[in-house]
Structure formats: C-alpha cells, structure tokens
Structure 1
Amino acid sequence: MDPNMAGHTGDSPFLLSPSTGRAMTPSASYDGKPGPAAGDAGAAFVLESKGTWWHAGFHLTTAMVGPTVLTLPYALRGMGWALGLSALTAVAAVTFYTYYLMSRVLDRCEAAGRRHIRFRELAADVLGRVGVLRGGHRADRHQRRHHHRQHPHRRQLPPDYVRELGAEWYPEAVPLHHHRRRRVVSLLADAVIPLAAVYQPRVPGPSLRLHHPRLRRVHSGSMVSNAPVKDYSLSPSKSGKMYDAFLSISILATVFGNGILPEIQATLAPPAAGKMVKALVLCYTVVFFTFYLSAISGYWAFGNKVQSNALQSLMPDSGPSLAPTWLLGLAVVLVLLQLLAIALVYSQVAYEIMEKGSADAGHGRFSWRNLAPRVALRTLYVAACAFVAAALPFFGDIVGVVGALGFIPLDFVLPVVMYNIALAPPKRSAVYVINVAIMALFTGVGIIGAIASVRKLVLDAGQFQLFSDHVIS
C-alpha cells in the first residue's frame, strides 16, 4: 500500500476529474459520505437529495406552469393562429429536448463522480473544459509526469496532491450535501396547491393551473353578452409583423423557461439517471393542457385586443367587467397562491446564495442565529420583487425582455452546447447537427427578440405611470 495513502478511508470530499483536473463534488453514490463544507450553509440548509421522480415532476411543473401562462394569448396575438400555434408547439418540443439533454449532462457528471447541485457548478465544470482542454490538461499531464519521474513505483497520486490540485483548479468545490425539505399545503376549493418550502412538495399541483384557462373559457365566450368584437388581424406593416413575432417568441421562451433544472435534479435520491425523463413527461403533460387551453381560449375570446395579462381583458378600462366580481377575485387569489408557490420553489437558488453568506453551518438550521436572518432576508427578497413588479406595469414587455436576454440563452443555447462538450457526439451525427442548428437558430432569435422586446418597451414607455393599476400591453 502506498504510504501516502495510509489512513485514507475514502472519505475525502474531493475527487479529481481525469478530464479536467478539477476537484469535484462526489456523487452520493460514492463510497465516502462527505459532510457539509465549512461555511457553505446555503447548500446544507436549503437543498436535500431524497426525492423521487414525481417529486421532481412537481418541482418542474411548479417552476414552469405559473401565472405567466396569462401571456400566452398575447403571444398568439403577435403571430396569428397558424404561426402562433406552430411556434408554441416548436418551443415546447425544443425545451423538452434541451432539458432532456441537460439531464443527460448531469447524469454523465454524476457517473464520473461529480454530482452537481447548482447550475453554476455544472456550467463551470462543462464549459470550463473549453479552456482547460488545452491549458489545464497540459498542466495536469506535466504535473503527473513530474510526479511519476520522482516516484515511478507509485501509480496513484497521494491524497494531499489531489487536494492541492483540486484547490488550484476548482477552489469553490464543495462536497454534496444532503438537502432539506419541508412542505406547506394549502387547500382552496377543489384545487390542491403545493407550497413547497424547500424543493419537496408532497402533493401534485396541476389542478391550480387548470383554473386559469377554465376561468377564461367559461367567461370569455358567447355566455357574455358584452364581449368585445373579435378581430384576429396582424400588424399591417412587414416590420411590425416581424417585431411582434419575435417578441411573441421571447414571451414563449419565458413561459417555458426553467432555469433551475440542475437544482431540481439535485433533489432526486441518487442515482438520478433516467428519473428526470419521467419528471419531464409529467411536467409537459400538465403543460399541454394548461398552455394550449390558455392560449387558444384567450386568443379566441379577445382576438388582437387581448391584454398581455389575459385577466386584465376580463376587466376592461371602459365598460363593465366581463365576469362576476367574485369570480375575478377568486382568480386573483389563485394567481397569488401560485406566485407564492413559485416564490418558495423557484427562488431557492437565490435563498441558497443569500444563506451561504448569512447562515452559520456550525449552528442548527432552526437555531435563532440562522432562523432570524433567513426569515428577514427571504421576506425582504420577496417584498423587493413584489415592489418592482408593482412599480413597473410592463407585464408583457418585461416578459419578452426576460425571455430574450435570459431564458433563450439559458434554456435553448447552453444545454445543447454543454451536451456537445460533455458527451462529445460525433460531429457528423444527427444529434450534433441538430444541437448546432438549435444553437445557431436560437442565438439569432434571442438577438432579434431582445431588440423587439426593448423596442416594445420603449414604445410603451410613454404610457408608463409609477404604480399604475393599468397593465401596459
């Protein structure tokens, strides 16, 4: 036995990646049981890996199927029936494909002993290889050759060398922590809504999302005598049609966007391979019914007069409301509850970052030392988001900007790039060609969509009033 390996039990929190030379977090299936890294209270207190595939499906559904579906009729308004439904179907298919690819990349990293619990760690691992394939591998090979010249009888590097090399290449590498989960369940009428405090809802929540299209379908058709005249015409100018179409695609990107898939997959009990496919199927089953019903019914009822927030179309500025007050109030309450669920689930990434610096891993997670700053910071974060949303009533415009600048790069471009780097399919294979085509296409769509979204924002700025009750569309 190598004397330098004496006393080494395999519990080291660092593993050396043979492909990158980086120190990586071992998978929970690794023989060792690494404890939380000192100072990383965010991961220790926020995340926990105990879920099943249907837990992950609920997380994906909660993160994706939310009040942003209210913008779907507005997205169809910019493209019309044929192009709008085609774009909706295409974006659904592409996002399912890219999320599947990202899951495959995470599975590959886990199989190599590097299970990532954060998107930024996955990106640093995979995208960092572009830089280290040349420089990092040369340095790694040079140090290994030097070690073997000095110690030709040793076939393994001593653990101290592994730690030092890992700290050099990946100083922020931390062991995988077991994540925490809690649940808060609220019952309202026949809707069962998961309010997942930390990534682990226990009851399905698609029924809430079904209320949105149901409310619009019942009260936006022929049952309402004072419904507006339907007009499905598009912009008369070619440039206007182009800008409206790319704005609509940017909105669709936001509606289908899910920037926390690695964090959601991290909640799965290891091994996670294959489980996310079932979770995606569950999520997109809910997506099919809610998204298509919302888009078709809202656009059919209001035509090109539909507001960026479809509920706003039921409450026109002039004339009576198109639905009973109690029903509109119920719809608003359901939207609010869904926003709370999204804030609790989708914002866990922000909470983890905040608590990494504010919490003390040496104290209990529910100790006063950690509980007080957690409650204060989370409350301030949600209040700040609500304040900005109330101050800037550009619902559709903001959704378009976020989709073009945020979700298109994150959910359409990065997954195919990371897959081609991590799994390295042959360059002449269909997968590689499709991935390159998606990357090129949506890079262009994102650029033009950003221009179209900002243009719409500038055009609507003249109607802006701080904290206005009127949502600009």
Structure 2
Amino acid sequence: MVQIEPLEVSLEAGNQADSALLDDDGRPRRTGTFWTASAHIITAVIGSGVLSLPWATAQLGWVAGPAVMVVFGGVTYFTATLQAECYRTGDEETGARNYTYIGAVRAILGGANAKLCGIIQYANLVGTAIGYTIAASISMQAIKRAGCFHANGHNVPCHISSTPYMLIFGAFEIVFSQIPDFHEIWWLSIVAAVMSFTYSGVGLGLGIAQTVADGGFRGTIAGVTNVTATQKAWRSLQALGNIAFAFAFSNVYTEIQDTIKAPPPSEAKVMKQASLLSIVATSVFYALCGWMGYAAFGNAAPDNLLTGFGFFEPFWLVDAANVAIAVHLIGAYQVYCQPVFAFVERKASRRWPDSGFVNSELRVGPFAISAFRLAWRSVFVCFTTVVAMALPFFGVIVGLLGAISFWPLTVYLPTEMYIAQRGVRRGSALWIGLRALAVAGFIVSAAATTGAVANFVGDFMKFRPFSG
C-alpha cells in the first residue's frame, strides 16, 4: 500500500470532521473487515498453484503426497498467526503500526533481516507476477485449443502460441494497475476469490467424474516410478516447491492486515480469524483437487490440471474453468504486485515531495492516475510480460518460487519476529520448538530449490526463448 506521511490533525481548528477520516497515526482511516481480509487471502492463496497439485501428488505418491500437503497447510497457518502478532510493535492494539512486511521486520529484528526480507519478498512478488502471466496465458490458450480438439479430434496437435495471450493479459494488468492500493482493490479480490473457487470446483468435479468412470482410484503408494532415480529425486523435490508455492501468502500478509480497520478488536485478532477461515477453506480445496486429480489420472497427471488436457470434455466446462482462471489471475496479480508498486512510489514521493509528475493524481472511480504511476507501473507490467514470453515454464517457475521463498518468508522471519516481539525465553520449550521449525523449514526449502533449479535447467536447455 502507498504510504502517506503522517498528517498534523488539530481539533482546535475545526478539523473534527477531517479527523474522523483518519486513523490514530494520521493516515486515511482503514475500512477492511474479516470478510475483505479473507477475500484478499483467498485470492492470494488459491491461485494457479492448485492446478499443479495433482502433478505434485503424483511425484510423491499416495502416502507422502497427502502428508506433505497437510504439513504445509498446518505450518502456513501457524506461522501466519505469529506474523499477525507482529503487525504492531508492542501492544497489539496501541503499539506502532508496521504497514509492510519489511517494515515489521525492520522494526522488530533490525537491518540485516530487513534486507533479507526485502530482497526475497520483492523478488518473489516479481516472480509471482511472471508466473501468473504464464498461467493466465496458458488458460486463455487452452480455451482456443479445447475448441480445436473438440472440432478436429484429440490427436490433432492444435499448437497455438501463448504470446498473444500474454500480451492481452498484460494489457488488462496495465489498466488495473492504476488502482492505487489494497484499499481500492477489495472488490477485485472478491471477484477473484469467487473465480478461484469456481475453477477449483470444476477441476474437482471433473476429477471425481473421471474417477467414477474409471471405477476406482489410480496412482500408487510411491508415485511416479517410470523415471530414473535422479529424475525421481528432482521431481519429488520440485513437488515440495509446488506445494509450498500453493500455500504461500506471507509476502503480502502484513500488507493485507494493514487494510483492517482500527481496534477494537485488534487487527491481529481479526487477521487470525481470517487466516483460519481462508486456510481451512483453501486446504480443503487443495486436498480435494490434488488428490482427486491424482485419483483420476494417476502417475500421468499433467502439471496443470485444466490446461494440460487431462480433460477434453465437456469442452465448454473446461473453457468456463479456464476463463475463471484468467479472471482470477487478473486480480491475484494486483494483490501480489501492490507491495512492489507501493515500495517504488513511496521512495519516489519521498525523493521528490513537490513534484507534480510524481504526486498529482486524477481520481476516476477506484482508479488514481498520476503520470509517474502510469509510466512506472506500465513499465513493470511490460517487463513481467516480456520475461514470461521468454521463459514460459509454468510448473518449474511455480516450484522454484515456492522453494526459494518458503523458508525465509513463511518460516524464519515470522518465528524470529515472534520470539523478539513476545520475548520468548531462550531455552524454553516454545523457543526450542520455533527454532526447530525454522531449521526444518530451511532443509525443506534448500532441497526443493535444488530440485526446482535442476528441472528449470533441464527445461531451458530444450527450449527456444520467445518461441511461444
């Protein structure tokens, strides 16, 4: 969210009406609720990652696949509650607010950790924007291919370039990027959340129908076995990254919490409730989609359930689901990019406080257009679009992003902030448990990153950039 310098508010000068529109720190009054926060979280969590879960389950098998998914869901919720406690420094109702994730880390842990957070968080956000551009274009491309398969048969190649669809997606994002901050995109998040449940529900329904038609579950205890031992290892490790990516939303968590209206109840209490609802709902969908997708296709599960053409018919239903994916990703892209937009614009505003180019705005409904915002955000969208066209590896990108960011953003920093914020005694059972969780998270993240990098290199060696 774009930060505004605290304002001087005087009740003696007839500013009572104005002060009613401001929070205790002089910023515009927040109006977010449990429901809007839940919508933001669901939009951030249920993304294209859900469609790779059958593939991830296939790499791990019927024992490890479900177990890993349950563990990641539980760890994500637990560390989210720790992060919620760190929105205010000190007292959860009256302490100084931390408007961003990096701001919370800086206030509670200090410089080195803040730099680590900034590098990983913003790299992950930019990478997610690239991944979402790839995923949206694949879904739009799949709509065209589904029509081709329906008309000409399932064995026809029906190759269609994804490049035009990436350009279309980028054009939409340039328009929606002129919505200034999280406060103004609540409606887009609600639409995106509905779309995410729509396509997840379609994928689940088709998986159940296929399983019933087959007369039972496919898949094996050990998962995919018709590969070499090295390939099995790399794929299994990438699967961990895919599952981590599917659950991750810590990199926008504090920014979402900053939309919740002032206490009482405290922002931490509301955010914990929203996190519980959102993660339980998404975990149920994830489990059903991942497991039923694996049950339907077994070890041949595609890396994207609805665009890998595990399902060809009914083609109109597959088309509807892919439209829902594209619409959802338009909103999810904005949720993930708002912290990046805010960071650059905050720096520019502080550097040139008197510049009309930077600070003058034209308000049109939810849009706030300034010359600088229009130029910089358009350049950002163009950059992510060009990179997506050059490296359209959906599954590998998802795994790499999830693997790299899981430990620092989802495990290490929330646990370290909580220990410092609550003064957890060194050597206590809680301290040992949190440290053990951080060590385990690091091992998982390092292993998954290794697998994702190996698979990325393998795919890149066989691909010509910009070939569509």
Paired residue for 2:182?
A: 199
Provide the rounded CA distance (Å) in 2 between the counterparts of 1:130 and 1:431: 24
Task: Evaluate the alpha carbon distance shift between residue 314 and residue 215 of structure 1 in structure 2; reply closer, same or farther with a 3 A threshold.
Answer: farther
Do structure 1's residue 209 and structure 2's residue 196 form an aligned pair?
Answer: yes
TM-superposed deviation, 1:383:
3.4
Quick check: which one's helix share is greater? 2
Provide the rounded CA distance (Å) in 1 between the counterparts of 2:288 and 2:438: 29
Provide the rounded CA distance (Å) in 1 between the counterparts of 2:385 and 2:292: 28
1:180-191 equivalences in 2 (<5 Å): none
* Per-residue Cα deviation, 1:287-338 (whole angstroms, up to 9, x for no partner): 13321121012111222222222223326xxxxx622433333222111101
* Per-residue Cα deviation, 1:34-69 (whole angstroms, up to 9, x for no partner): 556xxxxxxx8xxx6221222111111111111221
Do structure 1's residue 88 and structure 2's residue 75 form an aligned pair?
Answer: no
Larger Rg: 1
Task: Evaluate the alpha carbon distance shift between residue 468 and residue 311 of structure 1 in structure 2; reply closer, same or farther with a 3 A threshold.
Answer: farther
* Per-residue Cα deviation, 1:9-40 (whole angstroms, up to 9, x for no partner): x9889xxxxxxxxxxxxxx99x995556xxxx
Tell me the secondary structure at the aligned position of residue 371 of structure 2.
helix
Report the residue type matching 1:301 in the other structure.
Answer: A
Tell me the secondary structure at the aligned position of residue 78 of structure 1.
helix
Paired residue for 2:15?
A: none
TM-score (norm 1): 0.69
Report the residue type matching 1:245 in the other structure.
Answer: S
1:251 to 238, 242, 245: 242
Task: Evaluate the alpha carbon distance shift between residue 282 and residue 365 of structure 1 in structure 2; reply closer, same or farther with a 3 A threshold.
Answer: farther
Report the residue type matching 1:269 in the other structure.
Answer: K
1:242-391 equivalences in 2 (<5 Å): 242-258=233-249, 259-271=251-263, 272-314=267-309, 322-358=312-348, 364-366=360-362, 371-391=370-390
Structure 1, unpaired ranges of 5+: 1-9, 14-27, 37-43, 132-194, 316-320
Provide the rounded CA distance (Å) in 2 between the counterparts of 1:218 and 1:105: 40
Provide the rounded CA distance (Å) in 2 between the counterparts of 1:97 and 1:268: 20
**Bigger mean CA offset, 377-386 vs 419-428:** 377-386
- Matched-pair contact (CA < 8 Å) for 1:249–1:449: yes
1:375-414 equivalences in 2 (<5 Å): 375-414=374-413
Provide the rounded CA distance (Å) in 2 between the counterparts of 1:216 and 1:74: 13
Report the residue type matching 2:248 in the other structure.
Answer: G
Task: Evaluate the alpha carbon distance shift between residue 426 and residue 322 of structure 1 in structure 2; reply closer, same or farther with a 3 A threshold.
Answer: same
Provide the rounded CA distance (Å) in 2 between the counterparts of 1:420 and 1:460: 41
- Matched-pair contact (CA < 8 Å) for 1:209–1:290: no
Structure 2, unpaired ranges of 5+: 1-5, 10-18, 114-175
TM-superposed deviation, 1:282:
2.0
Task: Evaluate the alpha carbon distance shift between residue 34 and residue 361 of structure 1 in structure 2; reply closer, same or farther with a 3 A threshold.
Answer: farther
TM-superposed deviation, 1:370:
5.1
Task: Evaluate the alpha carbon distance shift between residue 217 and residue 58 of structure 1 in structure 2; reply closer, same or farther with a 3 A threshold.
Answer: closer
Tell me the secondary structure at the aligned position of residue 105 of structure 1.
coil
| CA RMSD across the alignment | 3.4
